[in-house]
Amino acid sequence: MGMQPLQFVMPTSNSNTLLIVDDAVENLTVLDALLSPHYQVRVATSGEKVLRIAAGEPHPDLILLDVTMPELDGFSVCQRLKEDEKTALIPITMLTGLDDREHRTRGIEAGADDFLTKPFEQSILRARLRSQLRLKRLTDQLEHTEGVIFMLAAAVEAKDAYTEGHLRRLRTY
C-alpha cells in the first residue's frame, strides 16, 4: 500500500484557450477561422475587455494581442497583464503590422513572450503558438509541483512543534 507517483496529464491542444485581441473585426474573423479547429478561441476588441477576461477564471492559456488599438494599446495591456500576479504567467504573443525594431523592443520591454508581424505565415503562427503553449504547460506543472512540495513540507513541519512555522519563515526571507 505505497504512495502512487504523481502523474501529469499533458492536455491536448483542443483544451487550450486562446484569447485573440484586435480592434479590427476582419482580423479576428481570420484568426478565429484559422485557430478554432485546434484551440478554444475567445475574442476581444479592446484593451479594457482583454484585461477583464484575462483576470477572470479560467484564465486563457495564451493571448494573441494586437499592438495598435484605440484607447489602451497592446503595449499597455501587455505591461498591465505582466505586472499582475494572477496573469503574469500567461504567454502573450503580440501581433502588429509594424515591422520595426522600436516596436519589437517596446513589446519585449512590456513583457511580450513573442512578436509576430502581419501578415504572417499560418504554419509559423501555429508552430510558435504550440511552442508558447508547451512552455506554459511546463510552467504550470512546476507551479503545481512547488505547491505539492510546500503542502507536504507543511504537513511534516506541523507534526513537530520545534520546526512548526520554519517553512513560512524561510519563504518570508
C-alpha 27/C-alpha 134 separation (Å) is 25
Digit-by-digit pLDDT tens for the chain (173 residues) are 444 443 434 444 458 999 999 988 998 999 999 999 999 999 999 999 989 988 888 889 999 999 988 889 999 999 999 999 889 989 999 988 776 788 788 888 899 998 888 888 888 888 889 988 888 888 777 776 777 777 776 666 666 666 666 666 777 77
pTM of the model: 0.72
SS3 42: strand
CA dist list (Å): 6 to 9, 34, 89, 103, 144: 10, 36, 23, 43, 11
Helices (H), 36-100: 47-55, 74-83
What number of residues does the chain have? 173
